Amino acid sequence: MLSIPGETGRTCDGFTRREFMRVGGAGILGLALGDVLKLQAMSAQPLAPSRPRNGWGQAKSVVMIFLQGGPSHIDIWDPKPDAPSNIRGEFRPIKSNVPGIWLSEVMPLLAKQMDKATLIRSVSYTPAGLFNHTAAIYQMMTGYTPDRVSPSGQLEPPSPNDFPHAGSQIIRLQPIDKPMLPFVMLPRPLQESNVIGKGGTAGFLGAAYDPYYFYQDPNGKVKLDDLSLRAGISRQRLERRENLLKQIDAAMPELEQAVESYALNSYYQKAFSLILSGRAREAFDLSKEDDKLRDRYGRHTFGQGCLMARRLIEAGAKVVQMNWPSVANGDPNTTAWDTHAANFGPLRNLHCPKLDSGLSTLLEDMDQRGLLKETMVIAIGEFGRSPRLGVSTSGNGNAPDGRDHWPYCYTGLIAGAGIRRGALYGKSDATASSPAENPVHPTQILATLYHALGIDPHTIAYNRLNQPRELVQAEPVLPLFG
């Protein structure tokens, strides 16, 4: 941080130099954000050379719909009506609007939008040790398996040594040029029990690349104090401070500029612009949307969160992650996908209607607005659910109609940015237990995302010990692109 030598004085509007450098009442997105932006610029690396391959560079932004908790693939995306009753479960398959693609009866709205997406029915990995939610989430978000697990089988809390979330890598390599938040995570953290936020930080890249954590219910009253001027701080007053900062920067001795390495003005300008433009505040304001469209998304946290994700992308955000609004291992009878104790009732009556309205409307809405052309949408959980009912696959107890964790074969949905429309990739076996064709590791999905953004998945980032680490050690799945 620049220090101004001399006596502690006051500016013309009554603030000390120290207070001025903190931008008085501008809040955490005042000059503090300027520090963040400065750190981003200092550690950003150039993009890897482009490669003329399928889908390369077609995406400009990303929406990750992360279904933490592990939804049952066989009961949602990959029905098996010919399997034994203790595998196929209670739900019937229904036709989608694409010949040959069937979904479960609990997804009637998404069935009408399958011409806009590809289902990957062969996502698969063998876990290293206990496959709890946190370890699987960490792998899905960062592309790496965790190196420290507590005696309980859960991961330890977030650490500065963690591998970065893919979104943090993306905004480091492709910073945005609009007065907008580059990476937003909503409406609640990644969480299993008391391990909160693991896999959801910038890790060794530093806090400058953390997402903006919007942990509020989009279906309720939203507070945006940190994106607004505080009471008594007018737009004109903040602009005067900005101008004064420019004058200080211009008058700074050349030697001090060299020591600083970077002029403050270019970084803090972004912080001022973010607050003054109102772009971010507008994006979070769902009252500006038509009530009928809001109804179609669903008047619930997930549905309104999907709508907010679209608005954020439209406003210029680079990466938006919409997490399923529940603790990963929460109660399935209220909010969670973790259906050990009961599977069919919660899916039919609670979770699938919300997933169906929110995801289907997001795809349709983004397509109608032209946003799918340059935005990749991914909907996936950290694993699926055991095809056989009532068995224990992870050491958990399961009711007769419960399904346990199952990373060996599950389904993800991917759309936009050149991804084939109305397609299936990969195939599960007769019981949805393992891939029958074209297995896809979760790290390959991240590699495909990087590729679509025009980022080589093998680009090097340096950790806190200055050791080189690839973004992800996997190759993109090029047949996903049309």
Q: Assign residue 61 the CATH number of its domain.
A: 3.40.720.10
Residues 38 and 58 in one domain: no
**Residue 48: inside a domain:** no
**Residue 4: inside a domain:** no
**Residue 3: inside a domain:** no
Residues 330 and 383 in one domain: yes
Cα gap 19→233, rounded to integer Å = 14
Residues 296 and 389 in one domain: yes
Residues 113 and 140 in one domain: yes
How many domains are contained in the chain? 2
Secondary structure letter of residue 156 according to DSSP: P
Domain boundary among 258, 277, 296: 277
Q: Which of 38, 1, 37, 39 lies closest to 20, judged by CA?
A: 1
Does residue 208 contact residue 36 with C-beta atoms inside 8 Å?
yes
Instruction: For residue 86, give both structure tokens.
Output: 């203790």
Sequential pLDDT tens for the chain (482 residues) = 333 333 334 334 343 434 333 333 344 344 455 555 555 554 544 444 444 479 999 999 999 999 999 999 999 999 999 999 999 999 999 999 999 999 999 999 999 999 999 999 999 999 876 668 999 999 999 999 887 776 566 778 999 999 999 999 999 999 998 889 999 999 999 999 999 999 999 999 999 999 999 999 999 999 887 775 455 555 555 455 545 545 545 555 554 444 344 334 445 555 556 665 678 889 999 999 999 999 999 999 999 999 999 999 999 999 999 999 999 999 999 999 999 999 999 999 999 999 999 999 999 999 999 999 999 999 999 999 999 999 998 888 899 999 999 999 999 999 999 999 999 999 999 999 999 999 999 999 999 999 999 999 999 999 999 999 999 999 999 999 99
Enclosing domain of residue 244: 10-43+226-277
Q: What is the pTM of this model?
A: 0.83
Q: Please state the length of the chain.
A: 482
Cα gap 192→135, rounded to integer Å = 10
Answer positive or negative: Cα dihedral of 303, 476, 96, 407.
negative
Cα gap 68→77, rounded to integer Å = 16
Does residue 347 contact residue 338 with C-beta atoms inside 8 Å?
no
Residues 119 and 261 in one domain: no
Q: 84: cis peptide before it, omega within 30°?
A: no
Domain boundary among 237, 255, 277: 277
Residues 327 and 415 in one domain: yes
**Residue 474: inside a domain:** yes
Residues 29 and 62 in one domain: no
Does residue 219 contact residue 279 with C-beta atoms inside 8 Å?
no
Residues 393 and 352 in one domain: yes
Residues 255 and 366 in one domain: no
**Residue 5: inside a domain:** no
Residues 307 and 447 in one domain: yes
Residues 121 and 245 in one domain: no
Residues 208 and 234 in one domain: no
Does residue 171 contact residue 182 with C-beta atoms inside 8 Å?
yes
